[in-house]
Amino acid sequence: MEVPEPAIALPETTEAEQTYLDYALLGMCLDRHVIALYRRQRQLLHVTPSHRLVRRRDGERIRVAGLVVCRQAPATANCVLFLSLEEEWGLANVVVRPGIRGRYREQVRHAPMLLVEGATPAGGQRRERAGRPGAPVRPLHQPATGGDG
């Protein structure tokens, strides 16, 4: 004898929930980049998107933010740390000097996403930034989904 069971209505997952689930289960998301969920926060903090870095002047103070996809500290680099931050439009490479690296050690070693403030380098290396890492990027209450960054 079958016993009828009532249908269960589950709430729809939000864009943010689905993105985090995709990253947790698959390690990636095909629909959007996780940093897209922070678009409004990045706008409020005047973060420069990677595709606009080439327009910045030498020595200009900027902020970049993204998912840390690479951390490198070669033995030949005299304690300099190199970070690659990925966001919706590409990569921003960050050079973290030894004093800054020591001051923000836990953040630059472990945070999955970083907000970095620094100056553009001289010599036209527009996707490379001398950095001063700030706090890991934190979500707003309602992650943004629109706009051009």
Predicted local confidence at residue 70, as pLDDT: 94
> What would the mean pLDDT of 107-112 be, rounded to a whole number?
87
- In this structure, which amino acid lies at residue 138? R
Residues sharing a CB contact under 8 Å with residue 1, sequence separation 6 or more, in sequence order = none
Q: What is the pTM of this model?
A: 0.75
Residue 147 has a pLDDT of 42
Q: Go through the domains of the chain in sequence order and give each one's CATH number.
A: 47-133 (2.40.50.140)
Burial class (CB in 10 A: 0-12, 13-18, 19+), 92: buried
pLDDT confidence of residue 141 = 38
Find all residues with CB under 8 Å of 84, minimum gap 6, and list them.
68, 69, 70, 91, 92, 93, 94
What sign has the CA pseudo-torsion 38, 42, 43, 47?
A: negative
Residues in the chain: 149
pLDDT in tens, 22-67: 988 998 888 888 889 888 889 998 999 988 888 888 888 888 999 9
pLDDT at 54: 83
The answer to whether residues 89 and 149 touch, using CB atoms and an 8 Å cutoff, is: yes
Q: In the 8-state DSSP scheme, what is residue 122?
A: S
pLDDT digits (tens, 9 = 90+) for 83-93: 999 999 999 98
Query: In which band, very low, low, confident or very high, does the pLDDT at 146 lie, cut at 50, 70 and 90?
Result: very low
For position 132, what pLDDT does the model report?
A: 54
112, 67 contact by CB (below 8 A) = yes
Quote the tokens at residue 91.
């990569």
What is the band of 101 on the pLDDT scale with cuts at 50, 70, 90?
Answer: confident
